[in-house]
Chains A and B, each alone.
Chain A
């Protein structure tokens, strides 16, 4: 009895494995269909989940999305910047600003700002600057301030509450915003001259709206003496563009996966249908309906499994290539979608195998063998 069961199992495995070797062409076609479907699904799903993080990073080039100001226009407490940096960690960048209205030598008012140039360069990447100040006593002049105060680039004299300061223009800044009318000094020069500390810290944080909200909460509790506000203009616009992009990508992903799945289904069904004579011979030789179904199902599951594994690896490669080509950054592989791809591939493969079988079982083997 044991040997009979053993024989049967051996026979089953033999019938299962022989066609794979003998009819390599057909097996390969079916496998290719599964691999294509699985890889396309993997690549698009991987991109779909990763692309938001990538785009959020691009949006941070728009600059600050959180602004911290002293309550009622007063200066921020000393040590505010290190506290903000500690709260931010590696998730964002902050730059301090201090402002006064000073008088030029001709008595005209001009806004003078003190800031940390290294931080501003990272935060406000759109600033177009001819040359950044490198040493103490140098100033960055807005385009309009440059034209109106010192078109030839001579040093300018500034007076604030009786204190005088002479600054040498290092470069010209153009932004098209308020910055064009201002004179920027390093924070050290500014504080030594006016005795004032920064009144504003601009913060750029990458993340989802919920993450930004929680960061605002963290910053507010780190600096209870300040107002922490989101820059609505940035936050809303970013959310809108991201939503639309994500929706488009979702629609595309759905379309692509659907096409790939239908292609796979059609190819596998055709290849099983093609083997109706094998089916009829087995039935005619006395194999039970269950054995034959199990045979075809096992074969389909095997192809589904192999195709899913190969397709998953290929899909990760495609996603990584798209990430490199478009965002110049690697797309981190999402191993979490592997079970979905695997189960999806095997289910579709089983469906593709069992559908034609259930159609064929209603037909007499003799009719099939006669070729009708």
Chain B
């Protein structure tokens, strides 16, 4: 009898069921889309924050002090130590390699250059633009185009294996150099592929492929420093404790040390880079690393609160729809009770119907919500949204709960009506 009642109710009252079902579907779709977008926003904004540039610098362990003012290197060329270019691919072998968005080696050389017939001393910096390399069996490509996205080039980016260069815009304006010109650097004729607009330091420099700087410096395979751009997790108490210690392995208990090592804190990634590259020291660039945590936390917090507002709105939408749907059926309740049904069986019938509606509407809403989240993510970030599979049962459970909660008050009221009054049409 009971299944038949439920079945007939769905068959006969299609319009009412459809309305309640649509309300649940809509509510669940909005809730799912908001949760999916909010859960993913940390990762997406983290990637956008990489626009601020590298957050870790790797330099030789035994290096002398940098002597640099306003981006101009005043360090005697013979001074200081170097890293070996051949060690760099090992960066892609560290524990958090997938969090490393890119890295770029730098080698500055002070040299005489003749631009548009005007000879002067300039700083030439060798780097990778988008340099292909191999680590293990995988091929990668990285360089300043990944780490410094604010660099703009008028003309073309040079190739990493050619001998074309970029000239900083301030230097180019002073000497009248244009893209396509030929300049003379230390006796070699080089083609200017483009004019670079970057920071005040780079605007005064010539930026060349790394191998060219190494030839000019007479130091094959040498690299002065490496800038690494990594996706990190904002620092917490554990990261602060590790950062204060000279050697985290000794300062932390083995369990804490493992937790620190296996979290993508900027300090643990820097520590792993030091391990991966011989004779190196890796430091977080605090200006970038410390601040992205704050910005990230604010944006994530904001989205969390907005998601709560969305959940509230959809919960109320579902509750209101259920309340109306049950209130409309008070005659039915009156009839059932007049025929001898107890309060319990009336409530059971309504709750079963509500549960079924929630499951059907919830599933449809989840599918629509994911599609919606995909669209939003594609539209705003141009990337796919990652959805945790565990979200589905959670969303369904919440849909059933909200539907029950929304129905409960109306069902209680429906049960307290006196059948005679309801059937007379006075309630």
User: Which residues does A use to contact B, with CB under 8 Å?
Assistant: 29, 32-33, 36-37, 40, 43-44, 47, 51, 54-55, 58-59, 61-63, 67, 69, 73, 99, 101, 108-111, 124, 126-128, 144-145, 148, 174-178, 180-181, 199-200, 229, 231-234, 236-237, 240-241, 244-245, 247-249, 251-253, 255-256, 258-260, 262-263, 266-267, 270-271, 274, 277, 318, 322, 325-327, 371
In the assembly, what is the distance between CA of A108 and CA of B52, in Å? Answer: 33
Please state if A252 and B75 are interface contacts (CB–CB under 8 Å).
no
Which residues of chain B have C-beta atoms less than 8 A from A62's C-beta?
A: 52, 287-288, 291
Please state if B380 and A244 are interface contacts (CB–CB under 8 Å).
yes
Given the contacts A51-B302, A58-B294, A245-B299, A177 and B67 also touching, CB distance less than 8 Å: no
Please state if B26 and A262 are interface contacts (CB–CB under 8 Å).
yes
In the assembly, what is the distance between CA of A323 and CA of B43, in Å? Answer: 23
Is B223 located at the chain interface by the 8 A CB criterion?
A: no
Which residues of chain A have C-beta atoms less than 8 A from B294's C-beta?
A: 58, 61
Residue of B nearest to A254 (CB): B376
Partner of A144, one of B23, B65, B68: B65
Please state if A248 and B376 are interface contacts (CB–CB under 8 Å).
yes
Please state if B286 and A234 are interface contacts (CB–CB under 8 Å).
no
Write the B63-104 contact mask toward A (1 if CB under 8 angstroms, else 0): 011111110001110000000000000000000000000000
Among B111-119, B176-184, B306-314, B335-343, the one that faces the other chain is B306-314
Residue of A nearest to B310 (CB): A256
Please state if A255 and B65 are interface contacts (CB–CB under 8 Å).
no
Given the contacts A59-B295, A178-B68, A128 and B286 also touching, CB distance less than 8 Å: yes
Please state if A175 and B309 are interface contacts (CB–CB under 8 Å).
no
Given the contacts A55-B298, A101-B69, A236-B51, A29 and B320 also touching, CB distance less than 8 Å: yes
Which residues of chain A have C-beta atoms less than 8 A from B27's C-beta?
A: 259
Q: Would you give 22 A-B contacts (Cβ < 8 Å), ordered by A?
A: A36-B313, A37-B313, A40-B313, A59-B291, A61-B294, A62-B288, A69-B200, A124-B287, A174-B283, A176-B286, A180-B283, A232-B197, A233-B53, A236-B150, A244-B44, A245-B45, A251-B379, A259-B27, A260-B313, A263-B317, A266-B19, A266-B320
Is B216 located at the chain interface by the 8 A CB criterion?
A: no
CB distance from B88 to the nearest CB of A (A): 19
CB distance from B218 to the nearest CB of A (A): 22
Please state if B67 and A111 are interface contacts (CB–CB under 8 Å).
yes
Please state if B298 and A326 are interface contacts (CB–CB under 8 Å).
yes
In the assembly, what is the distance between CA of A84 and CA of B304, in Å? Answer: 40
Residue of B nearest to A256 (CB): B310
Which residues of chain A have C-beta atoms less than 8 A from B286's C-beta?
A: 126-128, 174-177
Residue of B nearest to A239 (CB): B51
Which residues of chain A have C-beta atoms less than 8 A from B307's C-beta?
A: 252
CB distance from A316 to the nearest CB of B (A): 14
Q: How many residues of B contact A (CB 8 A)?
A: 73
Partner of B376, one of A178, A251, A322: A251
Please state if B74 and A270 are interface contacts (CB–CB under 8 Å).
no
**Majority secondary structure, A binding face:** helix
Please state if A233 and B324 are interface contacts (CB–CB under 8 Å).
no
Is B420 located at the chain interface by the 8 A CB criterion?
A: no
Which residues of chain B have C-beta atoms less than 8 A from A253's C-beta?
A: 306
Please state if B309 and A256 are interface contacts (CB–CB under 8 Å).
yes
Please state if B49 and A241 are interface contacts (CB–CB under 8 Å).
yes
CB distance from A52 to the nearest CB of B (A): 11
In the assembly, what is the distance between CA of A43 and CA of B305, in Å? Answer: 11
Given the contacts A101-B74, A322-B302, A244 and B68 also touching, CB distance less than 8 Å: no
Given the contacts A29-B320, A62-B287, A252-B37, A178 and B310 also touching, CB distance less than 8 Å: no
Residue of B nearest to A73 (CB): B70
Please state if B289 and A233 are interface contacts (CB–CB under 8 Å).
no
Which residues of chain B have C-beta atoms less than 8 A from A322's C-beta?
A: 302, 305-306
Partner of A326, one of B67, B302, B379: B302
Most B CB within 10 A of own CB, among A59, A128, A255, A260 = A255
CB distance from A341 to the nearest CB of B (A): 15
Partner of B316, one of A244, A263, A371: A263
Residue of A nearest to B51 (CB): A237
Please state if A259 and B52 are interface contacts (CB–CB under 8 Å).
no
Partner of B48, one of A54, A244, A271: A244
Partner of A200, one of B26, B70, B302, B303: B70
Is B198 located at the chain interface by the 8 A CB criterion?
A: yes
Partner of A176, one of B289, B303, B324, B328: B289
CB distance from A142 to the nearest CB of B (A): 8
Most B CB within 10 A of own CB, among A43, A200, A234, A270 = A270
Please provide the chain B residues from 13 to 33 with a CB less than 8 Å away from any CB of chain A in the complex.
19, 23, 26-27, 30, 33
In the assembly, what is the distance between CA of A371 and CA of B423, in Å? Answer: 12
Please state if A249 and B69 are interface contacts (CB–CB under 8 Å).
no
In the assembly, what is the distance between CA of A114 and CA of B291, in Å? Answer: 25
CB distance from A256 to the nearest CB of B (A): 5
Please state if A43 and B302 are interface contacts (CB–CB under 8 Å).
no
Which residues of chain A have C-beta atoms less than 8 A from B299's C-beta?
A: 55, 241, 245
Is B403 located at the chain interface by the 8 A CB criterion?
A: no
In the assembly, what is the distance between CA of A67 and CA of B314, in Å? Answer: 49
Write the B341-377 contact mask toward A (1 if CB under 8 angstroms, else 0): 0000000000000000000000000000000100010
Please state if A29 and B328 are interface contacts (CB–CB under 8 Å).
no
Please state if A259 and B317 are interface contacts (CB–CB under 8 Å).
yes
Which residues of chain B have C-beta atoms less than 8 A from A32's C-beta?
A: 316, 320
Partner of B290, one of A126, A145, A256, A277: A126
CB distance from B155 to the nearest CB of A (A): 18
Which residues of chain B have C-beta atoms less than 8 A from A73's C-beta?
A: 70
Which residues of chain B have C-beta atoms less than 8 A from A233's C-beta?
A: 52-53, 148, 150, 199
Please state if B52 and A58 are interface contacts (CB–CB under 8 Å).
no
Write the B150-180 contact mask toward A (1 if CB under 8 angstroms, else 0): 1000000000000000000000000000000
Taking A174-B283, A175-B286, A241-B295 as known contacts, 8 extra A-B pairs with beta carbons closer than 8 A to each other, sorted by chain A number, are A51-B302, A126-B291, A248-B376, A249-B306, A256-B30, A266-B320, A274-B328, A325-B301
Residue of B nearest to A234 (CB): B52
Given the contacts A109-B75, A145-B65, A248-B376, A47 and B306 also touching, CB distance less than 8 Å: yes
Most A CB within 10 A of own CB, among B37, B49, B200, B286 = B286
In the assembly, what is the distance between CA of A110 and CA of B74, in Å? Answer: 10
Is B408 located at the chain interface by the 8 A CB criterion?
A: no
Most A CB within 10 A of own CB, among B65, B68, B200, B320 = B65
Given the contacts A180-B283, A241-B48, A325-B305, A99 and B70 also touching, CB distance less than 8 Å: yes
